[in-house]
Amino acid sequence: MKKILVLCFVVLLILFSTPPAHAAWAPQCVTNVEIRDANGKPIGTEKVATIRGIECIISIFLNITTALAGIAFLIMILANGFKLLGAWGNPKSVEEAQKGLTMAFLGLFLLIAAWLIIRFLENFTGLKLTTFSLQILPP
């Protein structure tokens, strides 16, 4: 069962991985650079990723991680639900399935609690905690 969950996680991670090229999705992560020929004559512009691209990559990574946590919760609920249905009264199997369900709901509770705490702190302090930003860098 654990091998199936790890395999699903790896497949989803590969499908939703965020290469640096994704920085081009957000305009604040790229800079237009003028391209010149050998004589110094401008021939066009090219979008180039900047250090601000790190913000975009981390932001995308955090969003995907949250989505993967939800998918993992769903997979754990389904897997342990079927395990519980197939236990046929075997106390050891029932206990394992119940532990799995407990861990799934505990993980979901922690994820929601962390989000609510961050939102509370954001409203209380006025800081933008739900958006990742490197304030030390000039725009």
Domain limits of the chain?
Answer: 2-17+53-125
Burial code (b: 16+ CB inside 10 Å, e: under 16) for 74-86 equals ebbeebbeebeee
pTM of the entire predicted model:
0.62
Cβ atoms of 114 and 65 within 8 Å: the answer is: no
Examine the pLDDT at 20 and tell me if it is beyond 50: no
Residue whose token pair is 């946590």: 69
pLDDT band at 127 (very low <50, low <70, confident <90, very high): confident
* pLDDT, average across residues 74-93: 92
Q: Tens of pLDDT along 22-73?
A: 444 566 667 778 888 888 888 888 877 777 677 777 777 888 888 888 889 9
